[in-house]
Amino acid sequence: MNTFTRTIAKIWKDKRLRNKIFFIFFILFVFRLLSSIPIPGADPFRLSQFLDSDSFLGIFNLLSGGGLSTLSLIMLGVGPYITSSIIMQLLSFVSPKVKSMYQDEGDMGRKKAHQYTRLIAVPLAILQAVSLMALLSRQGVIPQFTLIETVINTAVVVGGSFLLLWLADLATEFGIGNGTSFIIFAGIVASIPRYVGEVIINWNPADIVMYIIFAVLAVLLIAGTIFITEAERPVPVTYARQGGAGTRVFGATQTYLPLRVNQAGVIPIIFALSILLFPQIIGQLISGSANLTISKIGSSLVSFSQSTWLYGVVYFVLVVVFTYFYTAVTFDPKQISENLQRSGAFIPGIRPGIPTRDYLAHIVTRITLVGSLFLGIIAVLPLVARGISGNQAFAIGGTALLIVVSVVVDIIKKTEAHMSSSEYN
């Protein structure tokens, strides 16, 4: 019996883990069922043409879990929640109260921050629903709705987005891994046959060398993503026990503090894509305005969205910035140094307190630079591939590949941790 078979057997024997996996499959079934229920009046053929001609709405469809491709009840996906999460993370830098929710108040603080994120997501979902339907109506994908029809469809679409968010929360609580990331992952996996079909349709035997190169780059991309996701910088830590008088140290324990090279995971990519989608939608909406100035602004935003190289540069910068930003929110060197000092631990050669804080901040800054640059490079590589080949599937497929690899690695690690915990118990 090989290792894979033994692992499957262990998972099957673990009733709790088996139930978690079955629950995830149930959530996926409901998710795919909802994504197949369209809003009234949609033209599937024009929608398919429009998505194929617009890479950014194709990426929005990716983040929505594939709901936009059918104009389903959940066509917004978890996009409003992701955008509101960005706003909350930004507020944590300017508001000590918001920052304390994430770092000082424990589980209660994170639950409170989650509730605020949901409240902010409501107006964002309404805005995105109205804007998206207006854009699709202008392109002839859906008919011109009356005011009552617009209100009803907006309510249905916003309700579908929050229903999907509720399913994601259930997947997080009763399943394995992060439910929001898993919803996006499921949508990507469901769209793989379509992208493979596009590559086959556009197949040209004369470009066989180019396809081989892209296949090799895809393998290297997967390997690089796994390497950066798993890479960590161990910082040695010593836990010392003192004698009764506190003058003599004995029984010191050596361990280490693992600092991951990319602590943000795939979150910076999702954040960057969410930000870049706004100019596209707003530009499409106002480009047909009767006001000449507004129309020019809209045309400029559309031109920016259609400029592969300019978009690639901005995309790269945003991924790097968000990697640092998310790391700064989730990792606090001051808190780590205080925890080490309270527990009687220290880093050899570094004084406790402020020197330890500065030392940890210095290390995190350096290793995050490596992780952010690598993440930015592999994020824009698919755009380069699209610019060379002219095949739209490469651009979206590359972004999808990054998300899929990160989510799969996270699921594998959490499954292994659960199995180890069960064996220990």
User: Are the C-beta atoms of residues 148 and 139 closer than 8 Å to each other?
Assistant: no
Confidence of residue 89 (pLDDT cuts 50, 70, 90): confident
Q: Based on the fold, state whether residues 214 and 71 are members of the same structural domain.
A: no
Q: Based on the fold, state whether residues 230 and 192 are members of the same structural domain.
A: no
Q: Based on the fold, state whether residues 194 and 51 are members of the same structural domain.
A: yes
Predicted local confidence at residue 59, as pLDDT? 65
User: Are the C-beta atoms of residues 403 and 66 closer than 8 Å to each other?
Assistant: no
Determine, yes or no, domain membership for 418.
Answer: no
Domain count, the chain: 2
Cα torsion for 230, 235, 241, 246, to the nearest 10°? -150
Tokens of 53: 């001609």
Q: Based on the fold, state whether residues 239 and 124 are members of the same structural domain.
A: no
Worst-scoring range by mean pLDDT, 121-125, 259-263, 265-269?
Answer: 265-269
Tokens of 338: 């205080």
Q: Based on the fold, state whether residues 210 and 170 are members of the same structural domain.
A: no
Domain with 245, as residue range(s), is 203-390
Determine, yes or no, domain membership for 422.
Answer: no
Most confident residue range from 240-244, 362-366, 395-399: 362-366
| Boundary (domain end) residue, out of 170, 201, 232 | 201
Q: Based on the fold, state whether residues 186 and 325 are members of the same structural domain.
A: no
Summarize pLDDT for 122-146 with one digit per residue, the tens.
998 888 888 778 777 777 777 777 8
| Boundary (domain end) residue, out of 201, 216, 241 | 201
Summarize pLDDT for 8-61 with one digit per residue, the tens.
777 777 778 888 888 888 888 888 888 888 777 666 667 766 666 665 666 667
Q: Based on the fold, state whether residues 131 and 278 are members of the same structural domain.
A: no
Confidence of residue 422 (pLDDT cuts 50, 70, 90): low
Residue 78 burial (10 A CB sphere; 0-12, 13-18, 19+): buried
Determine, yes or no, domain membership for 56.
Answer: yes
The Cα 111–Cα 165 span in angstroms is 15
Determine, yes or no, domain membership for 403.
Answer: no
Q: Based on the fold, state whether residues 191 and 234 are members of the same structural domain.
A: no
User: Are the C-beta atoms of residues 38 and 71 closer than 8 Å to each other?
Assistant: yes
| Boundary (domain end) residue, out of 148, 168, 201 | 201
Q: Starting from the edge strand earliest in sequence, which strands make up the sheet with 249-260, in order? A: 249-260, 232-242, 345-346
Give 375's contacts (C-beta < 8 A, 6+ positions apart).
Answer: 228, 262, 268, 269, 319, 320, 323
CB under 8 Å, gap of 24 or more: what pairs does 211-216 form? Answer: 214/385, 214/389, 214/394
Q: Based on the fold, state whether residues 190 and 320 are members of the same structural domain.
A: no
Confidence of residue 376 (pLDDT cuts 50, 70, 90): confident
pTM of the predicted structure, to 2 decimals: 0.75
Please name the amino acid found at residue 36.
Answer: S
Percentage of the chain lying above the pLDDT 90 cut: 0
Q: How crowded is residue 409: how many other Cβ atoms within 10 Å of its Cβ?
A: 16
User: Are the C-beta atoms of residues 245 and 227 closer than 8 Å to each other?
Assistant: no
Determine, yes or no, domain membership for 342.
Answer: yes
Residue tagged 């509730």 (tokens): 115
Determine, yes or no, domain membership for 1.
Answer: no
Predicted local confidence at residue 142, as pLDDT? 78
Summarize the chain as % helix, strand, coil (round to 5).
75, 5, 15
Summarize pLDDT for 350-366 with one digit per residue, the tens.
888 888 888 888 898 88
Give start and end residues of each alpha helix (H) in 77-145.
79-94, 96-103, 106-138
Determine, yes or no, domain membership for 414.
Answer: no
Q: Assess whether pLDDT exceeds 80 at residue 235.
A: yes
Most confident residue range from 48-57, 259-268, 416-425: 259-268
Determine, yes or no, domain membership for 246.
Answer: yes
**What's the average model confidence in pLDDT over 142-165?**
85
Predicted local confidence at residue 63, as pLDDT? 65
Q: Based on the fold, state whether residues 168 and 216 are members of the same structural domain.
A: no
Confidence of residue 348 (pLDDT cuts 50, 70, 90): confident
The Cα 85–Cα 115 span in angstroms is 11
**What's the average model confidence in pLDDT over 253-278?**
79
Predicted local confidence at residue 98, as pLDDT? 76
Most confident residue range from 44-53, 196-205, 264-273, 365-374: 365-374
The Cα 260–Cα 157 span in angstroms is 38
Q: Residue 117: which CATH number? A: 1.10.3370.10
Q: How crowded is residue 154: how many other Cβ atoms within 10 Å of its Cβ?
A: 19
Q: Based on the fold, state whether residues 190 and 218 are members of the same structural domain.
A: no
Q: Based on the fold, state whether residues 180 and 58 are members of the same structural domain.
A: yes
Select from 375, 379, 357, 378 the least CA-distant residue to 367.
375
Confidence of residue 70 (pLDDT cuts 50, 70, 90): confident
